[in-house]
Every structure is written in structure tokens, then in C-alpha cells.
Amino acid sequence: MVGNVPVGGGAPITVQSMTDTKTADVEGTLKQIYSLAGAGADIVRVTCNDPEAAVGLAQIVPRSPVPIVADIHHQYKRALDALDAGVACLRLNPGNIRKPEHIKLVARECLDRGVPIRIGVNGGSLDKDIRDKYGDKVTPEAMVESALRELAYFDEVGFKDVKISVKASSVPLMIEAYRQLAEVTDAPLHLGVTEAGPPPGGIIKATAGIATLLAEGIGDTIRYSLTADPVEEVKAGRQLLESLGLRERKNVDLIACPSCGRAEIDVYAVAQQALEAFGELELPLQVAVMGCVVNGPGEAGDADLGIAAGNKRGHLFIKGVNAAVVPEEEMVDTLVEWATFIAEEGIDAALAKVDVEKASREAEKDRQLLLAEQGDDANNAEARVELMKKRS
């Protein structure tokens, strides 16, 4: 347990992030913690890098909406300060708190207070002797050895309440390190690609590493380390877990067709408008924006709600069933209205409210109109095949 949040042992995978304010700035840090929690962070890490930060933590912890983990590097005394401040968990970097007596002292204190520790191995700050042993290289084996050495110190004082991370900025390296770690420990694992960089590249790197491991059943809590507002880290983490079906949906999952020669609207623009209109609204639905009524309702038939364009009109569909026709300029507003209704009243209530027969008739009319204009072969595939046949 990190405070009241379970980690590991079959609990839902949790999303973490870290504040980038000075911890001594209590109000500024709390404001950011509230933004992170609002975006879906389950746990937030805060640096405890000097005595002023520790004083700040003492005021932040009781006012935080989520459990706080203190990030400790180099100075074991800051770990003891953070425990006095009442944090829910410590993160220790084995690469830079090296003296065994200091590590054991911190672990003993955590044992007494029932506070867990994350052993946060980082490829970039690996213990020098371990690195030397592996030819001055950061290898998966070296990272796992660093974590196990720390675990052994904890064992000596009977402390077992740990989670472990073996992060690296190289995706293949971190994947292999976590795989090897998962073979030798049952401790919950905290996943991350460290220093992943700014979005979108950073999001892709972090996703490549984290998603690969999650799909193998490895990992209990995740953090995206992006060079960006930490709220972006939380959004990315939530979206990954939702898209893998590992956490319940919180906001709208907007799907949209990629657009093609059949599109009757600027699909990119309408999808973007819909994304902005839904924003952070807590509507746990899948909503589709489709460029044409010829294929749209069928292709997005599993979506809770969707709209497809045709003949300057928007055809609203609910679970693939044509439900209403609206002017093209009202498409996005209509989607938001219906999404709100469905979230509150359910799909059946929505379908009971509409004239399905009329909407289907109108959709069929526009569909036939488009087919007459464009044919049922928008890319002229038949003519192309004929050409090929003639040549052969």
C-alpha cells in the first residue's frame, strides 16, 4: 500500500507522476498535485532534496488528495526527514545512497512506521562497482544486480515492503532489465523509460517500453517521464492503461476514421473540434467521428455514439443504429449533448428517444446519393484491375 493506494498483488495498475515545482513552495506544489490528481494520477512523487523541501513536505502531505512519495538522492538524512513529514512512501536510488549502514537505518525506520520503499535503479546512475563489473557498461544484468543488492540490505533488517524499478532511457535495455527482474522477484514493479524526452517522441518511447511489459503481465504501476508539463505524463499514462483495457475509461475515447476520397467533411478538423469540446468531461464513452455515411456507421458500429457526414448533414448513430440527422455545423455540439445524455441515462434510453426509422431512411437516402456520385468503388479499383488484366 502506498497510503491508501494498493500497488501489486492484482490491484489495478496505477499512474504516477512527479511535481516539477520547488517543494519548499508549498502552495505551488499543492496546486500541481491537485492538477495531477485531477488528470488521473493515483500517486505523486515530490523531491525531498534539502531541509527546506522536507519542511514543505510536512505541510504538503496532510493537504494532498493522493499519497505522496518522497524522492531521495544522495542524502539518507532527507529520507528520515521525509518520514517525519509523514510521506506514504520513499524512493531511494541505490546508485547514490551507498553506505550499507545508512540504507539499513532508513529501512529500519520504514519498517517501524509501515512505510514502503521503492528501489529506484536508474541506468544513468548505476553503482560504480557494479558498472565496472560489467565492463563499464549499463546492462540489464547490472541493473538487476543493483536492485538485488539493495534488497539484500533490506532483508538484513527484515524489511520487505518494496517495489522496484529498473529504468533506462534505452527502451530495449529497460524491457530486458524488467523481464530479468520479474524472473527473480515477486515484488511489485514500477515501470518507466527514464528521460524519454519531449512529446510526441517521448510518449512513443515510453509507450513502447511500458506497453510491451504490461502486455507480458509485467508491471504494477507506471510513470511516463516526459520533458513536458507533468499533467501530460498522467494523461499519457491513463490513456495507455485505458487503451489496454487495464483501467476503466474516465473520459471520452474519441475514435475517428483516417479520412479518404469519400470524406464529406474535413475529418481532421471535426475530430479536433470534438476532442476540444469533450476536453476533460467525465464521459466514459467511445465516440466516433466518421467522414462519410457510406461506411462510417458500419465501421464504427461498436462505438457508443458517433456521427458520419453525408450530403451536408450529420448522421448521428448510437451503437451503429441511425438515430438522428443534424445540420453539418451542429455535428460536434450534438455529439456532446448526446454523449452527456447517454452517460447519464444509458444507450436504451437514448434509442427510445429517437425516431430510428426516419433517421435510417434519411441516412440511406444520403448513402445512395453518395454512391450514385462516387460509385461503390471510390478508388476505381475495378477499372485498375481491368488495366492490369489487359497488360498481362
For the bound state, the minimum distance from the C-beta of residue 298 to ligand SF4, rounded and expressed in Å, comes to 9
* Cβ-based nearer residue to ligand SF4, 357 or 376: 376
Neighbours of 164 (CB within 10 A): 25
For the bound state, the minimum distance from the C-beta of residue 378 to ligand SF4, rounded and expressed in Å, comes to 7
Closest CA relative to residue 222, chosen from 174, 185, 176, 180? 174
Q: Give the CB-nearest residue to ligand SF4.
A: 291
For the bound state, the minimum distance from the C-beta of residue 361 to ligand SF4, rounded and expressed in Å, comes to 20
* Cβ-based nearer residue to ligand SF4, 80 or 335: 335
* Range 320-329, long-range pairs (CB < 8 A, 24+ positions): 321/297, 321/351, 321/356, 321/360, 322/297, 322/356, 322/359, 322/360, 322/362, 322/363, 323/350, 323/351, 323/354, 323/356, 323/359, 324/354, 324/355, 324/359, 325/359, 325/362, 325/363, 328/265
The residues of the shown chain that bind ligand SF4, judged by CB under 6 A, are 257-260, 262-263, 290-292, 294-296, 299
* Cβ-based nearer residue to ligand SF4, 202 or 296: 296
Q: Are 363 and 322 in contact (CB under 8 A)?
A: yes
* Cβ-based nearer residue to ligand SF4, 215 or 269: 269
Kind and range of the H or E run holding 19: none
* Cβ-based nearer residue to ligand SF4, 38 or 261: 261
Q: Are 153 and 103 in contact (CB under 8 A)?
A: yes
Q: Are 317 and 308 in contact (CB under 8 A)?
A: yes
